[in-house]
Protein backbone atom coordinates (compact mmCIF):
# COMPACT_ATOMS: atom_id res chain seq x y z
CA UNK A 1 0.00 0.00 0.00
CA UNK A 2 1.43 3.38 -0.96
CA UNK A 3 2.25 5.60 2.00
CA UNK A 4 -0.24 8.41 2.56
CA UNK A 5 2.18 11.26 1.93
CA UNK A 6 3.42 9.66 -1.28
CA UNK A 7 -0.16 9.34 -2.53
CA UNK A 8 -0.64 13.06 -1.91
CA UNK A 9 2.69 13.88 -3.55
CA UNK A 10 1.45 11.94 -6.57
CA UNK A 11 -1.47 14.38 -6.76
CA UNK A 12 -4.22 12.69 -4.75
CA UNK A 13 -6.29 14.76 -2.30
CA UNK A 14 -6.73 12.74 0.92
CA UNK A 15 -8.99 13.64 3.83
CA UNK A 16 -7.87 14.18 6.49
CA UNK A 17 -4.52 15.22 5.03
CA UNK A 18 -1.30 13.54 6.12
CA UNK A 19 0.78 15.52 8.58
CA UNK A 20 4.40 16.12 9.52
CA UNK A 21 6.05 19.20 10.96
CA UNK A 22 9.21 21.05 10.01
CA UNK A 23 11.80 20.57 12.80
CA UNK A 24 9.59 17.89 14.35
CA UNK A 25 12.82 16.25 15.56
CA UNK A 26 14.61 18.56 17.92
CA UNK A 27 15.00 20.63 21.04
CA UNK A 28 11.34 20.78 22.14
CA UNK A 29 11.37 17.00 22.76
CA UNK A 30 12.76 15.75 26.10
CA UNK A 31 13.96 12.52 24.46
CA UNK A 32 15.96 14.62 22.00
CA UNK A 33 17.52 16.70 24.77
CA UNK A 34 18.49 13.53 26.64
CA UNK A 35 20.17 12.08 23.58
CA UNK A 36 21.76 15.43 22.67
CA UNK A 37 23.45 15.52 26.06
CA UNK A 38 25.22 12.23 25.25
CA UNK A 39 26.52 13.38 21.87
CA UNK A 40 29.49 15.65 21.28
CA UNK A 41 28.90 18.80 19.27
CA UNK A 42 25.86 19.40 17.09
CA UNK A 43 27.68 18.56 13.86
CA UNK A 44 28.93 15.29 15.31
CA UNK A 45 25.34 14.42 16.26
CA UNK A 46 24.33 15.01 12.63
CA UNK A 47 27.25 12.83 11.46
CA UNK A 48 26.68 9.89 13.83
CA UNK A 49 24.21 7.65 11.98
CA UNK A 50 23.02 5.71 15.01
CA UNK A 51 22.13 8.87 16.93
CA UNK A 52 20.83 10.88 13.98
CA UNK A 53 18.58 7.99 12.96
CA UNK A 54 17.21 7.73 16.49
CA UNK A 55 16.49 11.48 16.61
CA UNK A 56 14.79 11.27 13.22
CA UNK A 57 12.49 8.52 14.45
CA UNK A 58 11.59 10.04 17.84
CA UNK A 59 8.68 12.22 16.64
CA UNK A 60 7.39 9.48 14.37
CA UNK A 61 7.14 7.15 17.35
CA UNK A 62 5.76 9.74 19.75
CA UNK A 63 3.15 11.32 17.48
CA UNK A 64 2.66 8.86 14.61
CA UNK A 65 3.65 11.45 12.03
CA UNK A 66 3.10 10.54 8.37
CA UNK A 67 6.69 11.41 7.54
CA UNK A 68 10.11 11.22 9.10
CA UNK A 69 12.22 14.21 8.09
CA UNK A 70 15.91 13.36 8.12
CA UNK A 71 17.56 14.88 11.19
CA UNK A 72 20.50 16.82 9.89
CA UNK A 73 21.57 20.39 9.25
CA UNK A 74 21.78 22.40 6.05
CA UNK A 75 25.40 23.24 6.93
CA UNK A 76 26.51 19.64 6.53
CA UNK A 77 26.79 20.43 2.82
CA UNK A 78 28.90 23.61 3.16
CA UNK A 79 31.09 21.69 5.61
CA UNK A 80 31.31 18.81 3.13
CA UNK A 81 32.49 21.30 0.48
CA UNK A 82 35.29 22.34 2.80
CA UNK A 83 33.94 25.45 4.55
CA UNK A 84 34.51 25.36 8.29
CA UNK A 85 31.70 25.81 10.79
CA UNK A 86 31.43 26.52 14.47
CA UNK A 87 28.20 26.26 16.45
CA UNK A 88 28.12 28.86 19.21
CA UNK A 89 25.49 28.53 21.92
CA UNK A 90 22.61 30.94 21.46
CA UNK A 91 24.25 32.58 18.44
CA UNK A 92 23.78 30.05 15.71
CA UNK A 93 26.46 28.79 13.33
CA UNK A 94 29.48 30.85 12.36
CA UNK A 95 31.28 30.16 9.06
CA UNK A 96 34.49 31.71 7.69
CA UNK A 97 32.82 33.89 5.03
CA UNK A 98 33.43 33.33 1.32
CA UNK A 99 33.76 36.75 -0.26
CA UNK A 100 36.37 36.38 -2.99
CA UNK A 101 37.57 33.97 -5.65
CA UNK A 102 40.34 32.68 -3.41
CA UNK A 103 37.91 31.64 -0.69
CA UNK A 104 35.63 30.09 -3.29
CA UNK A 105 38.57 28.11 -4.71
CA UNK A 106 38.97 26.54 -1.26
CA UNK A 107 35.72 24.65 -1.76
CA UNK A 108 35.93 21.26 -3.45
CA UNK A 109 32.98 19.26 -4.71
CA UNK A 110 35.27 16.22 -4.82
CA UNK A 111 35.13 16.07 -1.02
CA UNK A 112 31.34 15.89 -0.81
CA UNK A 113 30.68 12.22 -1.45
CA UNK A 114 32.93 10.97 1.30
CA UNK A 115 31.97 13.71 3.73
CA UNK A 116 28.24 13.10 3.52
CA UNK A 117 28.53 9.29 3.72
CA UNK A 118 27.43 9.24 7.39
CA UNK A 119 24.26 11.16 6.49
CA UNK A 120 23.47 8.61 3.81
CA UNK A 121 23.97 5.84 6.34
CA UNK A 122 21.49 7.64 8.60
CA UNK A 123 19.02 7.63 5.72
CA UNK A 124 19.48 3.87 5.27
CA UNK A 125 18.96 3.20 8.96
CA UNK A 126 15.84 5.34 9.14
CA UNK A 127 14.34 3.84 6.02
CA UNK A 128 14.76 0.34 7.47
CA UNK A 129 12.89 1.35 10.63
CA UNK A 130 10.38 3.95 9.50
CA UNK A 131 7.40 1.67 8.89
CA UNK A 132 4.35 3.37 7.39
CA UNK A 133 5.79 6.84 7.57
CA UNK A 134 7.55 8.20 4.48
CA UNK A 135 11.17 9.28 4.76
CA UNK A 136 11.85 12.79 3.47
CA UNK A 137 15.41 13.91 2.81
CA UNK A 138 16.41 17.53 2.48
CA UNK A 139 19.00 20.18 1.72
CA UNK A 140 19.18 23.94 1.97
CA UNK A 141 18.54 25.60 -1.37
CA UNK A 142 21.55 27.06 -3.14
CA UNK A 143 20.47 30.66 -2.45
CA UNK A 144 19.95 30.16 1.27
CA UNK A 145 23.23 28.23 1.49
CA UNK A 146 25.00 31.06 -0.36
CA UNK A 147 23.47 33.60 2.06
CA UNK A 148 25.16 31.94 5.02
CA UNK A 149 28.32 30.96 3.15
CA UNK A 150 28.96 34.58 2.13
CA UNK A 151 27.60 36.29 5.24
CA UNK A 152 29.24 33.85 7.65
CA UNK A 153 26.45 34.16 10.23
CA UNK A 154 22.71 34.45 10.45
CA UNK A 155 21.44 37.91 9.51
CA UNK A 156 18.24 39.89 9.14
CA UNK A 157 19.02 40.88 5.58
CA UNK A 158 22.18 39.00 4.44
CA UNK A 159 23.45 42.27 3.02
CA UNK A 160 26.92 40.89 2.19
CA UNK A 161 25.48 38.04 0.15
CA UNK A 162 22.91 40.17 -1.64
CA UNK A 163 25.44 42.92 -2.34
CA UNK A 164 27.77 40.31 -3.86
CA UNK A 165 24.93 39.00 -6.04
CA UNK A 166 24.60 42.50 -7.53
CA UNK A 167 28.17 43.75 -7.31
CA UNK A 168 30.10 40.60 -8.25
CA UNK A 169 27.52 38.51 -10.10
CA UNK A 170 30.12 36.21 -11.68
CA UNK A 171 31.50 35.16 -8.32
CA UNK A 172 28.04 34.77 -6.80
CA UNK A 173 26.84 32.74 -9.79
CA UNK A 174 29.87 30.45 -9.47
CA UNK A 175 29.08 29.89 -5.81
CA UNK A 176 25.43 29.17 -6.60
CA UNK A 177 26.50 26.80 -9.38
CA UNK A 178 28.86 24.91 -7.11
CA UNK A 179 26.24 24.55 -4.38
CA UNK A 180 23.66 23.51 -6.97
CA UNK A 181 25.91 20.71 -8.25
CA UNK A 182 26.75 19.62 -4.72
CA UNK A 183 23.06 19.63 -3.80
CA UNK A 184 22.23 17.39 -6.74
CA UNK A 185 24.94 14.93 -5.62
CA UNK A 186 23.76 15.11 -2.02
CA UNK A 187 20.03 14.68 -2.69
CA UNK A 188 20.59 11.96 -5.28
CA UNK A 189 22.64 10.18 -2.63
CA UNK A 190 19.85 10.53 -0.10
CA UNK A 191 17.35 9.12 -2.59
CA UNK A 192 19.63 6.22 -3.46
CA UNK A 193 19.97 5.53 0.27
CA UNK A 194 16.23 5.41 0.77
CA UNK A 195 14.67 8.88 0.89
CA UNK A 196 11.21 8.71 -0.68
CA UNK A 197 10.92 12.45 -1.32
CA UNK A 198 13.23 15.40 -0.82
CA UNK A 199 12.64 18.99 0.26
CA UNK A 200 14.63 22.13 -0.55
CA UNK A 201 14.58 24.74 2.21
CA UNK A 202 14.91 28.30 0.89
CA UNK A 203 14.40 30.22 4.11
CA UNK A 204 15.63 33.52 2.69
CA UNK A 205 14.05 33.48 -0.78
CA UNK A 206 11.75 36.34 0.26
CA UNK A 207 14.67 38.76 0.48
CA UNK A 208 15.13 38.87 -3.27
CA UNK A 209 13.84 41.12 -6.01
CA UNK A 210 11.86 39.36 -8.77
CA UNK A 211 14.84 39.16 -11.16
CA UNK A 212 17.20 37.89 -8.45
CA UNK A 213 14.57 35.40 -7.31
CA UNK A 214 14.27 34.01 -10.84
CA UNK A 215 18.06 33.78 -11.16
CA UNK A 216 19.10 32.51 -7.74
CA UNK A 217 16.01 30.61 -6.54
CA UNK A 218 13.89 29.39 -9.44
CA UNK A 219 16.68 28.53 -11.91
CA UNK A 220 18.85 26.49 -9.49
CA UNK A 221 15.73 24.71 -8.22
CA UNK A 222 14.82 23.81 -11.80
CA UNK A 223 18.32 22.38 -12.36
CA UNK A 224 18.10 20.31 -9.21
CA UNK A 225 14.60 19.04 -10.01
CA UNK A 226 15.57 18.12 -13.57
CA UNK A 227 18.74 16.30 -12.52
CA UNK A 228 16.98 14.34 -9.79
CA UNK A 229 14.10 13.47 -12.09
CA UNK A 230 16.54 12.14 -14.70
CA UNK A 231 18.39 10.02 -12.14
CA UNK A 232 15.43 9.01 -9.97
CA UNK A 233 12.15 9.42 -11.85
CA UNK A 234 9.10 9.46 -9.65
CA UNK A 235 10.75 10.77 -6.49
CA UNK A 236 9.02 14.06 -5.68
CA UNK A 237 10.73 17.32 -4.77
CA UNK A 238 9.07 19.74 -2.35
CA UNK A 239 10.20 23.36 -2.78
CA UNK A 240 9.97 25.85 0.08
CA UNK A 241 10.66 29.34 -1.23
CA UNK A 242 9.81 31.04 2.07
CA UNK A 243 8.07 34.42 1.73
CA UNK A 244 8.03 34.14 -2.06
CA UNK A 245 4.64 35.86 -1.87
CA UNK A 246 3.04 36.58 -5.24
CA UNK A 247 5.89 34.78 -7.04
CA UNK A 248 4.88 31.37 -5.71
CA UNK A 249 2.88 30.49 -8.83
CA UNK A 250 5.67 31.36 -11.26
CA UNK A 251 8.14 29.50 -9.04
CA UNK A 252 6.03 26.33 -9.06
CA UNK A 253 5.54 26.40 -12.82
CA UNK A 254 9.10 27.23 -13.80
CA UNK A 255 10.93 25.06 -11.26
CA UNK A 256 8.98 21.88 -11.91
CA UNK A 257 8.68 20.95 -8.23
CA UNK A 258 5.92 18.44 -7.41
CA UNK A 259 4.93 20.33 -4.25
CA UNK A 260 5.31 23.82 -2.82
CA UNK A 261 5.51 24.39 0.90
CA UNK A 262 3.81 27.65 1.89
CA UNK A 263 5.03 29.83 4.76
CA UNK A 264 2.80 31.06 7.58
CA UNK A 265 1.92 34.32 5.86
CA UNK A 266 0.44 32.70 2.75
CA UNK A 267 -3.35 32.67 2.63
CA UNK A 268 -4.11 29.13 1.39
CA UNK A 269 -6.86 30.16 -1.01
CA UNK A 270 -5.10 33.23 -2.41
CA UNK A 271 -1.86 31.29 -2.85
CA UNK A 272 -3.75 28.29 -4.20
CA UNK A 273 -5.21 30.43 -6.97
CA UNK A 274 -1.68 31.26 -8.13
CA UNK A 275 -0.34 27.70 -8.05
CA UNK A 276 -1.47 25.28 -10.78
CA UNK A 277 -3.88 22.59 -9.57
CA UNK A 278 -1.42 19.83 -10.42
CA UNK A 279 1.07 21.12 -7.85
CA UNK A 280 0.68 19.74 -4.33
CA UNK A 281 0.59 22.26 -1.45
CA UNK A 282 2.18 21.79 1.96
CA UNK A 283 1.72 23.99 5.01
CA UNK A 284 1.22 26.30 6.76
CA UNK A 285 0.18 26.50 10.43
CA UNK A 286 1.86 29.24 12.47
CA UNK A 287 4.45 27.64 14.81
CA UNK A 288 3.53 30.24 17.44
CA UNK A 289 -0.03 28.88 17.50
CA UNK A 290 1.44 25.53 18.55
CA UNK A 291 3.31 27.28 21.36
CA UNK A 292 0.03 28.84 22.53
CA UNK A 293 -2.09 25.68 22.28
CA UNK A 294 -5.76 25.63 23.32
CA UNK A 295 -8.41 27.56 21.41
CA UNK A 296 -5.87 29.52 19.40
CA UNK A 297 -4.24 26.35 18.11
CA UNK A 298 -7.59 24.74 17.36
CA UNK A 299 -8.81 27.77 15.43
CA UNK A 300 -5.65 28.18 13.39
CA UNK A 301 -5.52 24.43 12.66
CA UNK A 302 -9.13 24.49 11.46
CA UNK A 303 -8.35 27.48 9.23
CA UNK A 304 -5.45 25.61 7.62
CA UNK A 305 -7.53 22.47 7.08
CA UNK A 306 -10.38 24.45 5.54
CA UNK A 307 -8.10 26.69 3.52
CA UNK A 308 -6.53 23.76 1.66
CA UNK A 309 -9.65 21.56 1.45
CA UNK A 310 -10.14 20.15 -2.04
CA UNK A 311 -6.43 20.37 -2.93
CA UNK A 312 -3.79 17.68 -2.65
CA UNK A 313 -2.42 18.93 0.68
CA UNK A 314 0.16 17.87 3.27
CA UNK A 315 -0.51 19.45 6.65
CA UNK A 316 2.59 21.11 8.07
CA UNK A 317 3.77 24.30 9.72
CA UNK A 318 4.67 27.49 7.86
CA UNK A 319 8.10 27.55 9.52
CA UNK A 320 9.98 25.22 11.88
CA UNK A 321 8.76 24.22 15.35
CA UNK A 322 10.28 26.54 17.95
CA UNK A 323 12.15 25.10 20.98
CA UNK A 324 9.64 26.43 23.54
CA UNK A 325 6.80 24.33 22.02
CA UNK A 326 5.11 22.02 24.55
CA UNK A 327 5.10 18.48 23.07
CA UNK A 328 1.53 17.96 24.31
CA UNK A 329 0.39 20.77 22.01
CA UNK A 330 1.90 18.88 19.09
CA UNK A 331 -0.02 15.77 20.19
CA UNK A 332 -3.26 17.79 20.35
CA UNK A 333 -2.59 19.19 16.88
CA UNK A 334 -2.04 15.74 15.39
CA UNK A 335 -5.20 14.44 17.08
CA UNK A 336 -7.24 17.32 15.69
CA UNK A 337 -5.96 16.77 12.15
CA UNK A 338 -6.57 13.01 12.38
CA UNK A 339 -10.13 13.62 13.57
CA UNK A 340 -10.94 16.22 10.93
Report, as residue numbers or ranges, the catalytic residues: 23, 27, 36, 73, 148
Q: How many other C-beta atoms lie within 10 A of the C-beta of residue 124?
A: 17
The residue from 300, 312, 334, 337 that contacts a copy of itself (CB under 8 A) is 300
CA 339 → CA 109, 285, 288, 333, distances in Å? 47, 17, 22, 10
Q: Taking CB under 8 A as the rule, does residue 177 contact a copy of itself?
A: no
The span of 129-137, 138-146, 154-162, 176-184 binding a copy of itself (CB under 8 A) equals: 154-162
The residue from 299, 306, 310, 326 that contacts a copy of itself (CB under 8 A) is 299
Whose Cβ is closer to a copy of itself: residue 250's or residue 340's? 250
Taking the complex as a whole, the smallest distance from the CB of residue 287 to a copy of itself amounts, in Å, to 9
- Contact present, 111 and 80 (Cβ < 8 Å): yes
Q: Taking CB under 8 A as the rule, does residue 327 contact a copy of itself?
A: no
DSSP states along 182-217: HHHHHHHHHHHHT-SEEEEEETTGGGS-HHHHIIII
Taking the complex as a whole, the smallest distance from the CB of residue 154 to a copy of itself amounts, in Å, to 8
Taking the complex as a whole, the smallest distance from the CB of residue 292 to a copy of itself amounts, in Å, to 3
Q: How far apart are CA 214 and CA 278, in angstroms?
A: 21
Whose Cβ is closer to a copy of itself: residue 184's or residue 219's? 219
Q: Taking CB under 8 A as the rule, does residue 167 contact a copy of itself?
A: yes
- Contact present, 174 and 220 (Cβ < 8 Å): no
The residue from 96, 324, 335, 338 that contacts a copy of itself (CB under 8 A) is 324
The span of 9-17, 65-73, 227-235, 247-255 binding a copy of itself (CB under 8 A) equals: 247-255
Taking the complex as a whole, the smallest distance from the CB of residue 245 to a copy of itself amounts, in Å, to 3
Taking the complex as a whole, the smallest distance from the CB of residue 202 to a copy of itself amounts, in Å, to 12
Q: Taking CB under 8 A as the rule, does residue 86 contact a copy of itself?
A: no
Q: Is 212 exposed, middle or buried (0-12, 13-18, 19+ CB in 10 A)?
A: middle
Q: How far apart are CA 282 and CA 232, in angstroms?
A: 22
Nearest CA to 26 out of 335, 320, 337 is that of 320
The residue from 95, 244, 257, 334 that contacts a copy of itself (CB under 8 A) is 244
Maximum C-alpha span of the chain: 57
Strand partners, 280: 259
Q: How many other C-beta atoms lie within 10 A of the C-beta of residue 277?
A: 10
69 sits in which H/E element: strand 67-69
User: Contact letters (x/-) for a copy of itself, 117-136, by CB under 8 A?
Assistant: --------------------
- Contact present, 316 and 289 (Cβ < 8 Å): no
Q: Taking CB under 8 A as the rule, does residue 285 contact a copy of itself?
A: yes
170 sits in which H/E element: helix 169-193
**Interface with a copy of itself by CB under 8 A: which residues?**
154, 156-157, 159, 162-163, 165-167, 169, 206-213, 243-250, 264-268, 270-271, 274, 284-286, 288-289, 291-294, 296-297, 299-300, 303, 307, 318-319, 322, 324
Amino acid sequence: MTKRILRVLAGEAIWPPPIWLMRQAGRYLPEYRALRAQAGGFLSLCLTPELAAEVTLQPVRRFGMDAAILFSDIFVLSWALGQGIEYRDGEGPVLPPIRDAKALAGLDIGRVEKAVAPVLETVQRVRAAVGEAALIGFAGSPFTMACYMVQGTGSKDFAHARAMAYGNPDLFDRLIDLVTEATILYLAGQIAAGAEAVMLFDTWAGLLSPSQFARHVTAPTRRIVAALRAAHPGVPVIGFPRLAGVSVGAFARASGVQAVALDTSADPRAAGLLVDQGVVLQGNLDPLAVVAGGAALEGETRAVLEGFAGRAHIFNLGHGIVPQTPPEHVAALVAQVRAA
